[in-house]
Chain A
Amino acid sequence: MNEFVEPFERLLADACTPHVVRAIEAGQPTTALWDAIEGSGFLDALIPEEHGGYGLPLSEVLGLLVAEGRHATPVPVGHTMLARAVISQAGGQVPRGPIAIAPSGETKDGRIACRRVPYALVADWIVAPLAGRWLVLPKSAATCTPCGIHGSLHADLEWPSDADAACASSMPVAWREAGAVIAAAHMAGGMERALEMSLQFANDRVQFGRSIGKFQAIQHQLAVMAENVAAARMAAEIGCDSAGPLPQPLRAAAAKARTSEAAALVAPMAHAIHGAIGVTAELDLQLFTRRLHEARADFGSERAWNAVIGRSLIAGGQATLDFMRAHLLPA
C-alpha cells in the first residue's frame, strides 16, 4: 500500500499546500490542483480492470484517503475515485471532472434536492442517491445554495427532475456507507495532523520557563489524543476492509461512529493545547479542525451509526465477540 501512498503524499504536499487550500476555500479555481490529481491516475484506482482502471479494492486505497485528509484536500478525491468505480460497474460512462457523493437525495414537487452536499462548491458532478435509483447530475444545471459557513465547500443543490444525468442506474449501491467510510478515513488523517501539530507546539511553546510539554496536564492530553488517533485510524481500516470498491455496511458504520467520536475529542484537545493562536485563520490547525467537525456530521455522526450497529447486534442474538468476528473483524 505504501507504494501508492508515498507518491500521492508527495503530490499533495506539492500541489495541495495550506495556501492552495485557503485559496480554494476563498473561491479561487481548483483547476491546477485538480489537473495535478487527475494527471496522476490515482482517480482510476478503484475502477475494475475490465473497465480500464487498476481494480484495487477499497482496503488498498485507505492510505490514499487518509493522505487526502492529512492535507485537508479541498477537492473530492475519494468521492471521485469511488464514484468512478461504481459508475463503471453500472455500465455508465464516467464523466470527467470532480464528482461529489451527496449523503441523500429526494424528489419533491418536480425537483431533485440534495442537502448538505460535501464539495458541492468545487464538484462538476453530483451523485444523487434517490429512492430505488441514483443519478449522476451536472452541478452546472443545479440551483446551488452555499451553506454560508466560513470556508466550507458544502451546499444544498436542486435540479429540475428532468435534468440530464450523465448516468442513471437502479443498481443497488450503499452510497451513504461509501461516503461515511471516506469521511472516516479523512478524519483519521486530519486527526493525525492535529496531533502532530499539537506535539510540535507542546515541545516549542515555552511558559513558566519550560516547554509546556513538560507539564503533566499537557502530556496526559496528548496521550489521550494519541490513543484516539490510533483508534480512529484502526476504525478507518475496519471501514475500508472490503475486497471491492464499496465498503461492507456494518464495517462502514463502525468506522464512521468511532472516528466521529474521536474527532469530537481530538479537535478540542488540539485547540486546548494551542491556546489562542490555534483559533486564528493564520495557523494551519483550523484547516484540519474545521474539517473534523464537518466530516463528523457528514453522512451521519456517531449516534446514528452506533444505532445501526446496536440494532444489528441485538437482533442477531450473538455474543459480542462472535458478532465482532462475523461483521467487523478481518476474516
Chain B
Amino acid sequence: MKVGVVTFPGSLDDVDARRAVTIGGNEAVALWHGDDDLKGVDAVVLPGGFSYGDYLRCGAISRFAPVMTSVVEAAGKGLPVLGICNGFQILCESHLLPGALIRNDHRKFVCRDQRLRIERVDTPWTSAYAEGAEVTIVLKNGEGGFVADEATLDLLEGEGRVVARYLDDNPNGSLRDIAGISNERGNVVGLMPHPEHAVEDLTGPGTDGLGFFTSLASKVFS
C-alpha cells in the first residue's frame, strides 16, 4: 500500500515515519502541508514534531493547512489515518478525534521507553497485534496529557475505542492512562508514543512498534 507521510514546518519525525512505513512493507510517499494533493495514497501518517512551532496550541495551526482539508475529507470516507504525538494533537484539533492533549501534569518533558497495552486491534494500524499485547515503545512529549470530559471518556471506553493504555507509570497525567484512541469506525487512530522509533533492533527499545506499520500490509481496511 502507498502510505503518505505529511511534512509540516516543524515536523521532526517524518523521515523516521517514512522509514518505518518502508520497513513495514509499504511504500512511503512524502506529502507536503501546503499541498492538498494526497497523491492517491491508501493511508496517511501525521508524524511527531512541533508543527508551526506549536504556536497557539499544539496542532491548532496545522489543522488549517491545505493538506488537512483533504485528510479530514478522506478520513470521513474511511481512509486510514495515524497521528503520532504531534499528529495526535492535530487529529484532536481537527475534531477527527475527541478530547485534547494538554501540558504534562508534572510540567517536564518526558523521554523514555514506555510500556503499553494494545487494547483495540480491529483498526488498520493495530491488526498485527494480539488484543491485550504488552509492548514497549518510545515516548517523548511535553504536552501529552489526554483530557476529555467524563461522558466522552465513558463513551470511548464503552465503544472500545481506547487503542493503547499506559502500563506501570502514567507519564503525563493522561486521564484513565489513555495513550491512544480511535474514531468510531476505527480508521483514524491517534497515539502519543512513537512506534516509528521502535522498528529496528539497532536503535530504540526493540521492534514492538513495527506492528503499527505492518498492520496495513497484512489487512486492507474494509
Do the two chains bind? no
Chain A residues in contact with chain B, CB under 8 A?
none
Binding site for A on B (CB under 8 A): none
